[in-house]
Amino acid sequence: MNGIRRLVLQNVRPRTLCAHYSARAAPQRPKQTRLSAQSNLGPSAMSAHQVFAPLTKGCPVFKISQPITVLREPQQFYKQLIHGIKHAQRHICLSSLYIGSEETELVAELKNALARNTKLQVRVLLDCLRGTRTDSAGMSSAALLAPLVQQFGEERVQVFMYHTPALSGLSKQAWPQRYNETFGLQHIKAYIFDDDVIISGANLSRDYFTNRQDRYMRISDSQFSDYFVRLVSTIGQFSFRVLNGDQATGYKLEMADGVADPTRDPREFVREANELMAQFLRRAEIEHAVEAGSISEHDTLAIPTVQMRQLGITQDESHMREFFELVHAFARNYKSRSLMASAYFNFSDQYKRSVLDSASRWDLLVASPQANGFYTAQGISQYIPDMYSIIEHEFAHMARARNDISIEEYMRDGWTFHGKGVWSYLNQPLPQLTMIGSPNYGYRSIYRDLEAQVTVVPGNTQLQKDIHQEALGLLAHSKIVSQDELKQRTRGSPLWLRGLKPFVMKKM
């Protein structure tokens, strides 16, 4: 049970990296910067399932027997959402940061599905701060969904709004909309239709359905689906519920009876939420544990992990640390490479250090300034892409002694980039592992937001090919950037912008 206790301790210090993890010990290899240029990098006596076996400890593990579908484009993602809503027979469960106030078609499909099937139940989990933020017409996610609760009742429609305990009392009143979201958010993206689960980093708004590139994977398995439904329901127990009410907003928010309000008693709220999540994770680990000898290299494994550090839950943080250590240990004996993507070059210090100290080759994929969601923003937000370029240049400078770390920027005319995840090839031409979900691998993904991702270890060549093609599709719209190019780009940046770096790194 030590693994479970680790999850519920709020101030655990991460274990120190061993001395042999230093950057000086990392092997120097000729730089290869394109996954498509890779062939087998050498033999290994171990299969990927053996290499990554420690990742199955302390987490639920699901053996997926049905084919996994890797979606490539936003339009495919939207079509799958609509298809799932139309064909769900038992339940629909949507977890997102928010639903765009313009998504009347999506909500209409939910309404039609509920009207057609009186046994259908719908659960929606959103962030309270983002989900109640109003647009120019005064509309919000909460106002968009409240009529469903009114028409079909709480027995069939539940809309949960998670609120961070880090914003309470006078601070909550002082911070305006949008800026208050820097304190912490519900960021988990999972879309469940009966036994089908779409894991993604995409939200439910128009740009994510048209020209904002993300990642999307559909996994069909009843136990895996049940895990995410229970995860959403557990978070819903310590979230506000959207009810029909206030005439001005079109809704009202209420906490469940007996649950502390995070805006009034954040300390008690954290204690209660921590207890509920620890119970959920403990049960999931016990029910879906696997014996070491029961996994074959033909099994496709799905390992979900969650991160909620404000609530004392550090499962994904521990999982990622283990992953980096396993890749490093493998790369000390065999050539190895991995790709890590994020919407923003704002990787946490520990993840940057893990890459720099790794014996493996790493490619980092992020949005170019033009593909950054803040590129067309107004006010001070318009400088955020420049800030990420400054952080990117500093990392390139740190990695200058390594010739096997590259930075690539996604640049596609008229598109923005929101993809995130990991593809680990070890020493093979096809991916041996991928991670997909909501984390951007930055400071706030670890310390502020509710996050979930799924580690998939493929058990067949077709799935490996599909995951590989997904990576190549992203890289096809990407360009390698050098330290000199980043230096030129950031030259002349105002000093006040560099002074904002600590805020951006921890808040954005």
Whether 506 is a known active-site residue: answer no
DSSP secondary structure of 122-161: EEEEEEHHHHT---TTS--HHHHHHHHHHHH-TTTEEEEE
Phi, psi dihedrals of residue 267, rounded to the nearest 5°: -65, -45
315 to each of 130, 252, 307, 391, how far by Cα in Å?
Answer: 25, 33, 6, 27
361 to each of 38, 53, 128, how far by Cα in Å?
Answer: 12, 21, 40
Whether 194 is a known active-site residue: answer yes
Q: What is the dihedral of CA 88, 126, 210, 378, to 10 degrees?
A: 170
User: Position 487: which residue type?
Assistant: K
Q: What's the CA gap between 495 and 500, in Å, rounded?
A: 9
- 419 sits in the region (left: phi over 0; alpha: psi -120 to 50; else beta) called beta
Q: What's the CA gap between 217 and 202, in Å, rounded?
A: 11
Which residues are CB-neighbours of 205 under 8 A, at least 6 positions away? Answer: 98, 99, 100, 102, 103
Q: Which of 189, 288, 328, 420 is catalytic?
A: 189
Q: Which of 49, 163, 194, 335 is catalytic?
A: 194
Phi, psi dihedrals of residue 444, rounded to the nearest 5°: -70, -25
Q: What's the CA gap between 10 and 282, in Å, rounded?
A: 16
DSSP secondary structure of 456-484: EE--SHHHHHHHHHHHHHHHTTEEEE-HH
Q: Which of 63, 163, 187, 393 is catalytic?
A: 187
Whether 226 is a known active-site residue: answer no
Q: What's the CA gap between 103 and 87, in Å, rounded?
A: 19
Q: Which residues are catalytic?
A: 187, 189, 194
